[in-house]
Amino acid sequence: MTDLLAEAKAELYQADPDGFMSRRQELVAAAREAGQAAAAKQIGALRKPTRSAWVVNRLVRHDPEVTERLAALATELRGAGQSMDGGRIRELSAARARLVDELTRQAFDDLPAPPAAVREEVTATLDAALADPEVAANLGTLVRAAHWAGFGLGAAPDSAPPPAKTNKPAPAEPSAERERRHREKIMEAERAVAEADRAADAANAAEQQLEDAVRRLEAELAQARQQLAEARRRSYRAESQQRRAGETLGRLRG
């Protein structure tokens, strides 16, 4: 059976996000027509990426070596951090900066010059992928830009200390009570998911409206700039004509 969800992710997260909402709706309808209701629901839950997240997703989907290079350097960085090798840490920190800078340039190679904020978010996301395994795992399907809020080179995954052992057995809980609590947790989780879905849909709709408003304002600004340039040209021509007429009048009077 065709993996419609994987195909939808591959298409939606590397295509321009301006067409995300309409294309997602088409893919949901196609999955339903194919009799894959579960896949249709999962596709419908996919969230539209921001412009910076899309740039990173597009980069790693067009060039699989990007994730490999990030993963290899991340492993070296964690190893250096654990060994506390100062010289190696300095060397790898410089390599980290070079790689992030190189990949940021590569991400925009065939795209129009981006706003500074978008470029900064792409750089921050690539840097976060070197420090945070969760960010690295989501490369290709990112919805938002990521930022590394920790310090140093980033912790190794699963590096948290194991829980302390105890020889004291936990008191047994009646099976009926366990089942009741389990059902309550499921209901609570379902409510949380539904609320998160509603909030995400509202946020996506608001984001789309704002993007549309920004595009309209940018078009109006471009038109106003064109009109201003034309007005300046007319003003210059009028001033030139005024000056020449004044000079002619002066010669006639003289």
Rounded Cα distance, 140 and 137, in Å: 9
Can you give the length of the chain in residues?
Answer: 254
For residue 117, pLDDT beyond 60 = yes
Higher-scoring residue by pLDDT: 186, 118: 118
Q: Tell me, what's the pLDDT at 155? A: 47
**CA dihedral in degrees (136, 79, 120, 60; nearest 10)?**
-40
Alpha-carbon distance of 139 to 60, in angstroms, equals 7
**What would the two tokens of residue 193 be?**
């998911």
Query: Is residue 76 scored above 80 in pLDDT?
Result: yes
CA distances from 113 to 30, 50, 85, 107, 109 (A): 35, 16, 39, 11, 9
Confidence of residue 156 (pLDDT cuts 50, 70, 90): very low
Pure H helices in 13-64: 20-33, 37-44, 51-62
User: At a CB cut-off of 8 Å and minimum separation 6, what does 125 contact?
Assistant: 52, 53, 56, 135, 142, 145, 146, 147
In the numeric block, which tokens belong to residue 190? 């379902």
The pLDDT of residue 72: 94
pLDDT (0 to 100) of residue 105: 95
Rounded-to-integer distance, Cα 94 and Cα 204, Å: 38
Q: Looking at per-residue confidence, does 219 or 57 come out higher?
A: 57
Percent of the chain predicted with pLDDT > 90: 39
**Span 126-149, average pLDDT:** 90
Q: Is 35 left (phi over 0), alpha (psi -120 to 50) or beta?
A: left
Position 166: which residue type?
Answer: T
Maximal CA-CA distance, the chain: 117
Which long-range contacts does 84-89 make (Cβ < 8 Å, 24+ apart)? 89/153
Q: Which of 71, 70, 81, 69 is nearest to 155 (CA)?
A: 81
pTM for the model: 0.58
For residue 2, count CB atoms less than 10 angstroms from its CB and return exposed for 0-12, middle for 13-18, buried for 19 or more.
Answer: exposed
Average pLDDT, the chain: 81
Tell me: the pLDDT tens digits for 16-43? 888 999 999 999 999 999 889 999 999 9
